[in-house]
C-alpha cells in the first residue's frame, strides 16, 4: 500500500498501490475493447473538456464502443455538467482511437493521481499520442469567447502534481523534463490544419488553478502578469503523466469567457457550456483536418 512515511499523501494511492490500479484499469479496458473486432491496440487518445462531446462524431460509425467510467475499476466519475463520463473507442484514419469524453476534476475531491489513472491505463495499452482539450477563461485581452487556443506551455498553480510519491520506474523517470512538453511537429500540423479549416487559431500559455471558484479580479491581473493567456482547472496533470511516459502531447483550450480584470459580469458554468458549444464546432473542424496527421 505504499510507504508509510508519505503521510502527505492522504488518498493512500501511490507507489505499488497506484501501479496496481493502473494495471487493473488497463486490463479491464483491454477486455472491453476485445468485445468488438477491429478495435486493435489504440495509438491515439483524446481527453475532452466541458461541452466537447461532439468530437466523438469524428470516429467511423462502426466499430464503436462506449464504456461508462463507472464500469471501469478505479476510475472516478465526474459530477460536472458537460462531461459525459465515458470512454468511446472507435476507428478513424485507419487507427484505433480512445476518446475520454469528460474528466473528473481534483476539485471534486480526487487527487491528481486518481484523476489520471484512466489516461495512464490508456497509455499502458499502447497510446503514443494524447490530444487534450479544456474550457478556459481568456486572460489575454485579445482573446474572445469562442476562440480556440493552441497551448504552447503551461503554469501549474494547482498546488498538486500526479507524480508526487514514489516514482513508478516502469512508467517513466523520476524527474520529467517539461521545457518542450508540447510536441513541436504536432503543433505545426495543428496550425496548418486550422488554416485549411479556415479557423483562426490563437496560441498561448495555459494556467491551471485548483478551482472550483472562478478567479478574482486580483488573481486575473496576477495570472496575466506572470504570462498566462488562458486559465482553467484541468489538463496539466494529464500533460505531466503523458510526458512522464514519453508520450507526445498536443493540447487546446476553448476560450469560453473573459477572465480579464475589467470584465463586466460574473462568469457562470452555464455560460462556459454555451460558449463551449460554439468553440467546439471550430475545434472539431480543426480536428477533422488534423486527425490523419496525429494518427500517423
Catalytic residue (choose from 19, 24, 71, 108) = 108
Q: In this structure, are residues 256 and 271 in contact, taking their beta carbons and an 8 Å threshold?
A: yes
**Could you say which of 26, 84, 121, 135 is catalytic?**
135
Q: Which candidate in 101, 140, 156, 234 is catalytic?
A: 234
Q: What are the φ and ψ backbone dihedral angles of 87, each rounded to 5 degrees?
A: -90, 130
Q: State yes or no: is 180 an active-site residue.
A: no
> Exactly one of 83, 219, 259, 275 is catalytic; which is it?
83
Q: Does residue 149 carry a catalytic annotation?
A: no
Q: Which of 233, 242, 245, 259 is catalytic?
A: 233
50 catalytic per annotation: yes
Instruction: State yes or no: is 108 an active-site residue.
Output: yes
Catalytic residue among 28, 107, 192, 293: 107
Sign (positive or negative) of CA dihedral 82, 136, 237, 219: negative
Q: Of residues 134, 140, 158, 257, which has the active-site annotation?
A: 257
Place of cell 510519491: 165
233 is catalytic: yes
Query: Is 83 a known active-site residue?
Result: yes
Per annotation, catalytic residue among 14, 26, 45, 50:
50
Residues of 89-125 as b/e, b for ≥16 C-beta within 10 angstroms? bbbbbebbbbbbbbbbbbebebbbbbbbbbbbbbbbb
> Out of 105, 134, 158, 289, which one is annotated catalytic?
105
The residues, any chain, with a CB within 8 Å of residue 45's CB and separated by 6 or more, are 97, 98, 99, 100, 119, 122, 123, 127, 129, 130, 131
Backbone φ and ψ for 243, nearest 5 degrees, come out as -70, -30
Q: Provide the annotated active-site residues.
A: 50, 83, 105, 107-108, 135, 233-234, 257, 269
Amino acid at each position: 500500500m505504499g510507504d508509510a512515511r508519505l503521510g502527505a499523501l492522504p488518498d493512500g494511492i501511490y507507489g505499488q498501490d497506484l501501479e496496481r490500479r493502473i494495471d487493473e484499469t488497463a486490463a479491464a479496458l483491454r477486455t472491453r475493447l476485445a468485445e468488438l473486432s477491429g478495435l486493435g491496440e489504440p495509438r491515439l487518445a483524446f481527453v475532452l473538456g466541458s461541452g466537447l462531446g461532439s468530437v466523438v462524431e469524428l470516429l467511423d460509425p462502426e466499430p464503436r464502443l462506449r464504456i461508462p467510467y463507472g464500469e471501469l475499476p478505479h476510475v472516478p466519475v465526474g459530477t460536472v455538467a458537460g462531461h459525459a463520463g465515458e470512454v468511446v473507442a472507435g476507428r478513424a484514419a485507419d487507427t484505433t482511437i480512445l476518446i475520454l469524453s469528460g474528466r473528473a476534476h481534483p476539485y471534486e475531491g480526487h487527487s491528481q493521481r486518481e484523476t489520471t489513472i484512466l489516461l495512464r491505463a490508456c497509455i499502458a495499452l499502447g497510446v503514443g499520442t494524447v490530444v487534450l482539450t479544456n474550457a478556459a477563461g481568456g486572460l489575454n485581452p485579445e482573446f474572445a469567447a469562442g476562440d480556440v487556443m493552441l497551448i504552447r506551455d503551461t503554469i501549474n498553480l494547482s498546488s498538486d502534481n500526479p507524480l508526487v510519491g514514489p516514482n513508478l520506474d516502469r512508467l517513466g523517470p523520476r524527474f520529467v523534463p517539461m521545457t518542450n512538453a508540447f510536441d513541436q511537429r504536432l503543433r505545426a500540423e495543428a496550425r496548418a490544419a486550422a488554416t485549411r479549416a479556415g479557423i483562426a487559431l490563437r496560441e498561448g500559455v495555459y494556467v491551471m488553478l485548483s478551482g472550483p471558484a472562478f478567479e478574482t479580479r486580483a488573481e486575473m491581473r496576477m495570472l496575466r502578469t506572470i504570462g498566462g493567456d488562458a486559465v482553467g482547472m484541468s489538463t496539466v496533470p494529464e500533460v505531466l503523466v503523458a510526458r512522464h511516459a514519453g508520450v507526445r502531447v498536443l493540447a487546446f483550450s476553448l476560450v469560453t469567457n473573459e477572465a480579464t480584470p475589467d470584465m463586466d459580469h460574473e462568469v457562470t458554468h452555464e455560460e462556459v457550456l454555451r460558449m463551449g458549444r460554439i468553440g467546439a464546432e471550430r475545434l472539431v473542424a480543426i480536428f477533422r483536418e488534423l486527425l490523419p496527421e496525429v494518427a500517423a
